[in-house]
């Protein structure tokens, strides 16, 4: 079938869409206060549970009827068939003619998943075994640097999916990491990033992992060249590269041309998208940090969520519910942004990771057939860990003029239980979703003795929706389940919006222009500039500053 979706009717012409529009007209004036008052058990019924994740979506402006209509829309869009097509390895990434099979990365041995008639699961397990052997050698100290010293620092060089996932997960699972191995990440094409990452490090004790699916990303290659020069300057010998560099890539030829030893290459496959790759060899730095057993436990969490997604009826299916809620707010309430608010210090990079996952996947303006959308696609995803965000932007969440749905993510047990801090943290998380949903009206304020003149400023209208995802503790398995939850929620949204969630053509134009512009910044003679007047003036100003002596102080 080659991943061809059946000819889709335009979303906004579907009767299911129109039914949701009519329903929205009734729902927009209904408040969360009314919904909770009308159903005393709402907090226990609008929930779903899977893979150790408890999802409370009762504080959303939905009724059973809303869910029924959203699910009818999902069915009309063929969501079930699209999920099956992805799991079957069909080439659902049509613009790049590729299968999308990140679910194979966590498939157990013995399960068959095929791409072009080839079962890829044995390759995945062979790769996991190689990664496991390599990371064990590093963790035990048996892999030595060129001068015989033990490797103490591992630096991952990559960008986007080759950086955000591993960095987020290394931080999230720091609790079970081997503490005498220091993991660092260099991504930005800014000398500062590299200089600060290697400051005070010895090349003799440092290993670089160059992660790039394509091995063409200019920033990554530039950082890899810096790393190579930094090592060679200290170690003096080309041979040393073999002990201090490994690469993860689908482009072995380019990596070898770059100077990587062939047996230091870890494969990546073209059926894995960059932003869906943290559980592939792209996660090598993570496996080095936490060890193969914890990595396997994380894969188990991914798998549990995959199984839930592919087999559970939509009414109880966490990723489907979350994806449909996003559609409900984006397309009917005209919501433009979505906040992700993890109440766990270890999840501090989770919002940044989700930004690429959601926005690079569904930040699209045409359907699978290339027709312009007449509805909105991905919301802007952003966020910060609690409680830090509370003292920064939550004011807008509570009293701003925009509706911003939120995902709260919290844990019942702290991995660092100190004093009563965890109760304090979680009291804040529960209080925030309560305050957003129910607010505080003038009458309550008056009763609490607030002076009349202050009342307008202090009223919180409430009716601001949120989900809460509650788990026991942040284990590798829970992290895997959480990431898979968002992967599949993004997939669900992409199916409703009829997008190809797996290409990223929009990123290419900027890359192309930067490539053209670079010589104009670097050449010694004054370039003839053919850009718009703003870009021309900026380039001239940049060149003029560079030519004048640097100011100090
Ligand atoms: O620029 C976008 C992108 O292609 C992402 O999709 C990808 O994760 C990132 O660049 C890095 O790509 P690579 O792993 O090929 O260096």
Judged against a pLDDT cut of 70, whether residue 337 lies above it is answered with yes
- The average pLDDT across 13-28 equals 97
Task: State residue 548's pLDDT score.
Answer: 83
Judged against a pLDDT cut of 90, whether residue 550 lies above it is answered with no
CA of 274 to the centre of ligand 1 (A): 6
CA of 213 to the centre of ligand 1 (A): 7
User: Which ligand 1 atom sits nearest the alpha carbon of residue 274?
Assistant: 8
What mean pLDDT is reported for the chain? 96
Q: What 8-state DSSP symbol labels residue 441?
A: -
Determine how β-strand 53-56 pairs with β-strand 47-50. antiparallel
Query: Measuring CA to CA, how many Å separate 486 from each of 89, 125, 169, 314?
Result: 20, 24, 14, 15
Residue 219 token pair: 């920033």
CA distance 288 to 292: 8
CA distance 241 to 261: 8
Cβ-proximal residues to 348 (8 Å cutoff; 6+ apart), any chain = 171, 342, 385
Q: Measured from the CB, is residue 217 less than 6 Å from ligand 1? A: yes
Q: How many helices (H) and strands (E) does the chain have?
A: 23, 13
The percentage of the chain sitting over the pLDDT mark of 90, rounded to a whole number, equals 96
Judged against a pLDDT cut of 60, whether residue 543 lies above it is answered with yes
Catalytic, 153? Answer no
Query: Per the residue annotation, which of 26, 391, 508, 522 is the catalytic one?
Result: 391
CA distance 128 to 175: 22
CA of 273 to the centre of ligand 1 (A): 9
Residue from 157, 212, 217, 510 whose mutation best tests the ligand 1 pocket (most atoms within 8 A of CB) = 217
Each residue's pLDDT tens digit, 144-177: 999 999 999 999 999 999 999 999 999 999 999 9
User: Which ligand 1 atom sits nearest the alpha carbon of residue 159?
Assistant: 11
Catalytic, 213? Answer no
Bridge partners for 118 per DSSP:
115
Task: State residue 3's pLDDT score.
Answer: 44
Judged against a pLDDT cut of 80, whether residue 344 lies above it is answered with yes
Query: pLDDT-based confidence at 8, cuts 50/70/90?
Result: low
Bridge partners for 84 per DSSP:
none
Task: State residue 553's pLDDT score.
Answer: 67
Task: State residue 2's pLDDT score.
Answer: 43
């Amino acid at each position: 079938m080659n991943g061809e979706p059946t000819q889709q009717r335009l979303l906004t012409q579907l009767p299911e869409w129109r039914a949701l529009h009519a329903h929205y007209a009734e729902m927009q004036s209904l408040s969360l206060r009314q919904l909770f008052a009308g159903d005393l058990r709402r907090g226990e019924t609008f929930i779903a549970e899977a893979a150790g994740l408890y999802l409370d979506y009762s504080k959303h402006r939905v009724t059973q009827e809303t869910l029924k209509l959203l699910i009818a829309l999902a069915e009309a869009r063929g969501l079930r068939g699209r999920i099956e097509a992805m799991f079957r390895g069909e080439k659902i990434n049509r613009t790049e003619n590729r299968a999308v099979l990140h679910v194979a990365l966590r498939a157990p041995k013995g399960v068959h998943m095929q791409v072009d008639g080839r079962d890829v699961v044995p390759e995945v397990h062979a790769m996991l075994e190689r990664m496991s052997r390599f990371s064990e050698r590093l963790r035990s100290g048996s892999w030595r640097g060129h001068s015989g010293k033990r490797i103490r620092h591992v630096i991952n060089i990559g960008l986007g999916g080759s950086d955000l996932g591993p960095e987020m997960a290394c931080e999230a699972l720091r609790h079970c990491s081997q503490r005498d191995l220091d993991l660092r990440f260099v991504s930005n094409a800014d000398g500062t990033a590299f200089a600060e990452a290697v400051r005070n490090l010895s090349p003799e004790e440092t290993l670089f992992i160059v992660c790039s699916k394509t091995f063409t990303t200019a920033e990554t290659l530039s950082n890899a060249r810096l790393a190579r020069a930094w090592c060679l300057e200290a170690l003096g010998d080309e041979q040393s590269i073999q002990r201090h560099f490994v690469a993860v890539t689908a482009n072995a030829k380019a990596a070898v041309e770059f100077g990587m030893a062939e047996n230091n290459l870890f494969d990546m496959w073209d059926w894995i998208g960059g932003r869906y790759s943290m559980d592939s060899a792209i996660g090598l730095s993570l496996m080095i940090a936490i060890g193969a057993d914890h990595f396997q436990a994380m894969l188990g969490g991914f798998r549990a969520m995959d199984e839930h997604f592919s087999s559970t009826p939509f009414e109880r299916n966490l990723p489907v519910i979350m994806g449909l809620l996003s559609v409900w707010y984006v397309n009917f309430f005209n919501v433009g942004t979505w906040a992700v608010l993890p109440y766990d210090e270890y999840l501090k990079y989770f919002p940044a990771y989700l930004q690429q996952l959601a926005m690079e996947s569904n930040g699209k303006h045409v359907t699978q057939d290339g027709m312009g959308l007449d509805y909105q696609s991905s919301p802007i995803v952003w966020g910060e860990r609690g409680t830090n965000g509370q003292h920064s932007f939550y004011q807008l969440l509570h009293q701003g003029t925009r509706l911003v749905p939120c995902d709260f993510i919290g844990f019942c047990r702290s991995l660092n239980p100190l004093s009563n801090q965890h109760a304090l943290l979680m009291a804040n998380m529960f209080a925030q979703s309560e305050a957003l949903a129910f607010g505080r009206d003038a009458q309550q304020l008056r009763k609490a003795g607030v002076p009349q003149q202050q009342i307008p400023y202090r009223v919180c209208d409430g009716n601001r929706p949120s989900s809460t995802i509650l788990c026991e503790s942040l284990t590798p398995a829970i992290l895997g389940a959480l990431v898979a939850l968002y992967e599949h929620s993004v997939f669900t949204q992409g199916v409703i919006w009829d997008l190809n969630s797996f290409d990223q053509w929009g990123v290419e134009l900027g890359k192309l222009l930067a490539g053209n512009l670079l010589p104009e910044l670097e050449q010694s003679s004054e370039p003839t500039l053919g850009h718009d007047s703003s870009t021309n003036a900026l380039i001239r100003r940049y060149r003029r500053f560079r030519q004048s002596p640097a100011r100090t102080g």
